[in-house]
Amino acid sequence: MQTSTKMLLELLVLALMAISCHAQGEAPIGAIELTLVHDAGTKGAVCLDGSLPGYHLDLGSGAGSNSWIVHLEGGAWCSDATSCAFRAGTHLGSSRFMNATVFQGILSSSPRINPYFYNWNRVKVRYCDGGSFSGDAEFPMLGRSPITKEFQILYFRGQRIWEAVMEDLLARGMSDASRALLSGESAGGLASLIHCDSFRELFFEDVEVKCLSDGGIFLDIADINGYLFAQSYFRKVVNLQNIGKNLPRECTVERDNGQCFLAQYFLEGIYTPVFILQSTYDTYQIQNFLVPSSEDPLRKWIPCKNNPRLCSVSELKVLQEFHFGMLHALHPIESFTTWGAYLVSCFCHTQSQENFQWDGTSRIAGMSVVDAIGQWAYRGVGTKYVDCPYPCNPTCRSRS
């Protein structure tokens, strides 16, 4: 597929993500202000455009005062200088475009919406490196924005951002935590798995530390025409941002770096307890990797991609194969007694960051995602909830 087409696809994804973000201006009621990591620049820990990284912190209270949840924001990736230059002019590549944010879902301060974590110290780490907080290229690169036509110096320093933010949070009281949970959604969910064990190592041995990945399992699959689009795409991300040196060595000695960026190939090496929250019909992967627009020039898949009830028999067969492929990739964790999972057959991408998905309506065998994660976090219950194939679950919700 042509590079220009790939770039346009990435720009489209970024544009769609930007729709849900607040416009610059007055912060909404209850919004948490952005905290910049002021000494990060001296360590080279900067966003794509060279601006300082940041996070939002809402302090805990009462019984949750010594418990911390650190959530890594998601937002796809960039795989070449042009798409990264475009990204550098958005909140996904520069703190200059980041606003105060209202915490929802697993970060909400409402005991009704978020009964298990509402009074914890809740942190949202902003995503501005385009490489799942994992890149570490020594030298910057020059890229030209396809929108402004201006040249932009680009920095790929996600690993340093991770380290600088963690150091700052430890100094702000996280070092005294009795319980800590690293979570993330989408690209941040992948990052929560990549950094899970290093997060564990930040704390004393008696601190209860766990990790949660929401929509962070990206499959190494062929698209509808047999092209390994996902593998090729992630290989470019890894090579561009010098991520390879931060990937698990036990994986990279056997596989391509692009594959080792995908959690299905390094999950078994994580020793910290993990909860996998994942749709087995992940809409992001279906739309961008399984059926990318470049492989559907006649747009025959558009109705099915937008609404599974409009899928033909042959199209639904492809989606069911994706579902079972996800279950196969996660099969090894079945025997992990301290791990939990909630693998739902609803068509969605992430489920923990918005109230409408986190409110307990969608269920697997009567269990809500809120209670499944909460019971695992507090009681160490390593239960795996696995949904039956679409369309068996009547509790699924969507914006439509």
Q: Among all residues, which ones are annotated catalytic?
A: 186, 282, 349
Cα separation, 26 vs 31, in Å, equals 10
Task: Tell the burial category of 100 from Cβ atoms under 10 Å away from its Cβ (0-12, 13-18, 19+).
Answer: middle
Distant-in-sequence, close-in-space partners of 35: CB < 8 Å, separation ≥ 6: 54, 55, 56, 57
Distant-in-sequence, close-in-space partners of 94: CB < 8 Å, separation ≥ 6: 47, 48, 49, 51, 88, 128
Which three-class secondary structure state does DSSP give residue 260? helix
Distance from CA of residue 329 to its chain's centroid?
A: 18
Alpha-carbon torsion angle 118, 131, 45, 123, nearest 10: 0
- Position 222, amino acid: A
C-alpha gyration radius of the chain: 20
Half-sphere exposure of 342 (CA within 13 A, CB side): 28
Structure tokens at 109: 């301060």
Which three-class secondary structure state does DSSP give residue 348? coil
CB 239 within 8 Å of CB 252:
no
CB 352 within 8 Å of CB 214:
yes
Residue in the structure block whose two tokens are 């989606």: 319
Cα separation, 210 vs 200, in Å, equals 8
